[in-house]
Structure 1
Amino acid sequence: MTTAIPPMPGKELTNPPKDGVSNLRFSNHSDNLLVSSWDKSVKLYDANANVLKGEFMHGGPVLDCCFHDDSSGFSAGGDNTVRRFVFDSGKEDILGKHDAPVRCVEYSYAAGQVITGSWDKMLKCWDPRGASGQERTLVGMYPQPERVYSISLVGNRLVVATAGRHVNVYDLRNMSQPEQRRESSLKYQTRCVRCYPNGTGFALSSVEGRVAMEFFDLSEAGQAKKYAFKCHRKSEAGRDTVYPVNAIAFHPIYGTFATGGCDGFVNVWDGNNKKRLYQYSKYPTSIAALSFSKDGRLLAVASSYTYEEGDQSHEPDAIFVRTVNEVEVKPKPKVYPTPA
């Protein structure tokens, strides 16, 4: 009898970070991949060619990163700084600072601004075209109810998830106050928030193996569509082991999404039909971050221990880039019974 060989986890990138991966992002314009790490670095890879193209350093762990365009990017650090860097020239400078580690950074193409969220309970917006040097590029600062854990953008909407399960929804055209103030429908700490590509809502994940699907429409019909589901759990001898869901990534074409957990698994979900489409073979350790390429053809997976079980020996941190087959991410059509 032939034993089925599980599919390979993908191509492992050479020259990975030397410490835990905090995030990774594909460019909106190419297969360039930006990776931030606790080893104080931001690394730029050509994911297709498996080549490290550049490296930039912070004074502390790097907690997030994003592209501006294919020639430059931004990073958020545990050294309380927001930095920008130019890939080809190697030039970098400090865009601005917070009063505590900066957990999140996003670039809004709609507003032309960099948005950062920090453990100082502050959201800040920066104009990257302004003069370099500290606070001179700051265009707005907005207090949050707690430490910022995750932010996500779609069009002019910004969703901010903080400690204490608070969720604020902003319109970037009028940041004076949140458009909506919510509490997560999940009972435990938020790990990740990601907006739906079609702009109708957002997904939240928690440390307690659940994902909530939320909608911006506050009408009764709109809110009736929201739901939450369990994932990244295993049951042995009648006992459930529950794993944090660290990462959510939406497929840019089909609107399905992948989740990554501390169980080392990546699952792909059809949110509209409330079904799991696919589960990849287990990765060596926790899934710390996920990102689909601009055309949805590649999925970058950070297999990186997230210290959920304390300081212990673990598999080396690694980044895998896998080719995505349509069957893994395309929603299956609903099958209706044939009338008698």
Structure 2
Amino acid sequence: MSGLFGSGATAATSTTGDTSKDVEINQNELPKDSISDLMFNPAADYLAVSSWDQQVYIYEVGQNGAQGKWYYKMNGPVLCVAWSKDGSRLSSGDTTGNIAIIDFRNNPNPGVIEQPTMAKAHDEAVKTIRWFQTGGQDYLATGSWDKKVKFWDLKSANPVGTLDCGERVYTMDVKDNLMVIGTAERHIHMVNLNDPGKIAKTITSPLKWQTRVVSCFTDATGFAVGSIEGRCAIQYADDKNTSLNFSFKCHRQQDPTQRDVAKVYSVNAISFHPQHGTFSTAGSDGTFHFWDKDAKHRLKGYPEVGGSITATGFSRDGNIFAYAVSYDWSKGYSANTPQYPIKLKLHPIQGDECKPRPGSKKR
């Protein structure tokens, strides 16, 4: 996929990143409402995007940019989307509690998928969705505002397991055998997917305000947490590594009129680079940053992109960073005006933008 962005010149040595080479998806192929989630296919050059306009969009990323390939509609605003580990299936969840599963091994023709396979999975909105493998078999995990995470083997209409999470599920991520679930009231549950029928450990978020996102390290030894109050925390799953846990401020802007006052923004998305183990944060302030957690160092910070960033993700080889610009509901219903921008952009990873600092341990 490197051909999309030319030769990939060496990035500048300063900590200020360059977005001038970012590629923007054609407006005619974008969702008509806020983008809620996105994910690159782990095995092919496809990018899936879910939207509040009740649709899921799948783009093919190639030499000439990204073009719409498939589309399908659900019963309500779509809040989450995820590819299976082998990239053959796509799942999504909406506000009506339904999930959809598209099996691309059936080779649907490009265009609108008229009748996606859908099923009622939860009593409330499906906020997050992930695939995982255990015992050599694929499973789908769905997390909902009905306070449950359910596991599906796709062989029957009933879940093969259910976790009572005690509160509304806001965010969830999976890496290898580690599942992390973030809920309302700042609870964070950890699940060993070798034994998915129970919650292995529950902690209170190290951040004092509402959890917005969790994202697992590339080596599955822990996870990052982002909150609505412009903070990110690095948390290790094993109690033996608690001395390595820390948190830091991000996505804040100094008020030019008041010396000791800063505007604080939500951390909406955290994504880990698949090779380097470094990670990105993106927020309501319309900026994204790349970080090296082991060196406790910001690698690059990027200028504002003209609106809140609601979702991010790295391509399978880590050469492209996708980010969605749209309204994130942080200021309530009234601030979601027709003039608010909706953009989907692809940032080429150049030079050492995402490489850890020399001497950093990769995780």
Q: TM-score, normalised by structure 2?
A: 0.86
**Aligned mates of 1:125, 1:31 — CA distance in 2:** 27
**Aligned mates of 2:198, 2:355 — CA distance in 1:** 38
**Aligned mates of 2:119, 2:141 — CA distance in 1:** 11
| AA in 2 matched with 1:10 | D
**Aligned mates of 1:243, 1:47 — CA distance in 2:** 31
Aligned to 2:153: 127
CA offset at residue 190 of structure 1?
Answer: 0.3
Higher relative CO (Cα under 8 Å, sequence separation at least 6) belongs to 2
Structure 2 residues without counterparts, runs of 5 or longer = 1-15
Q: Is the 8 A contact 1:83 1:96 kept in 2?
A: no
Q: Is the 8 A contact 1:96 1:138 kept in 2?
A: no
Counterpart selection for 2:130 from 106, 130, 144:
106
**Aligned mates of 1:178, 1:71 — CA distance in 2:** 29
Aligned to 1:326: 351
Aligned to 1:338: none
| AA in 1 matched with 2:81 | C
**Aligned mates of 1:276, 1:109 — CA distance in 2:** 33
| AA in 1 matched with 2:170 | Y
**Aligned mates of 1:70, 1:230 — CA distance in 2:** 35
Q: Deviations over 1:141-189 (max 9, x none)?
A: 1111100000111111111110000011111221232111111010000
Counterpart selection for 1:78 from 76, 92, 95:
95
**Aligned mates of 1:164, 1:146 — CA distance in 2:** 7
Task: Name the count of aligned residue pairs.
Answer: 325
**Aligned mates of 1:245, 1:199 — CA distance in 2:** 21
CA offset at residue 333 of structure 1?
Answer: 1.3
| AA in 1 matched with 2:83 | F
1:115 matches 2:141: yes
CA 1:92–1:62: 2 relative to 1, 3 Å: same
CA 1:9–1:266: 2 relative to 1, 3 Å: farther
Q: Deviations over 1:207-249 (max 9, x none)?
A: 0000000001112xx1011000000001122211000000000
CA offset at residue 6 of structure 1?
Answer: 5.3
CA offset at residue 137 of structure 1?
Answer: 4.1
**Aligned mates of 1:203, 1:96 — CA distance in 2:** 31
Aligned to 1:160: 181
> Which range moved further: 193-202 or 308-317?
308-317
Aligned to 2:262: 240
1:209 matches 2:230: yes
CA 1:73–1:52: 2 relative to 1, 3 Å: same
CA offset at residue 63 of structure 1?
Answer: 0.4
| AA in 2 matched with 1:208 | E
1:61 matches 2:77: yes
> Which range moved further: 311-320 or 202-211?
311-320
Q: Is the 8 A contact 2:17 2:301 kept in 1?
A: no
Q: Is the 8 A contact 2:177 2:220 kept in 1?
A: no
> Which range moved further: 294-303 or 137-146?
137-146
Q: TM-score, normalised by structure 1?
A: 0.92
1:13 matches 2:25: yes
Aligned to 1:253: 275
Matched residue SS, 1:327 = coil
Matches within 5 A, 1:159-308: 159-219=180-240, 222-236=241-255, 237-238=258-259, 239-308=261-330
CA offset at residue 281 of structure 1?
Answer: 2.4
| AA in 2 matched with 1:295 | D
**Aligned mates of 1:5, 1:193 — CA distance in 2:** 24
Matched residue SS, 1:224 = helix
Q: Deviations over 1:23-78 (max 9, x none)?
A: 00001012200000000001100133411000011110000001124442100110
Structure 1 residues without counterparts, runs of 5 or longer = 336-340
| AA in 2 matched with 1:122 | K
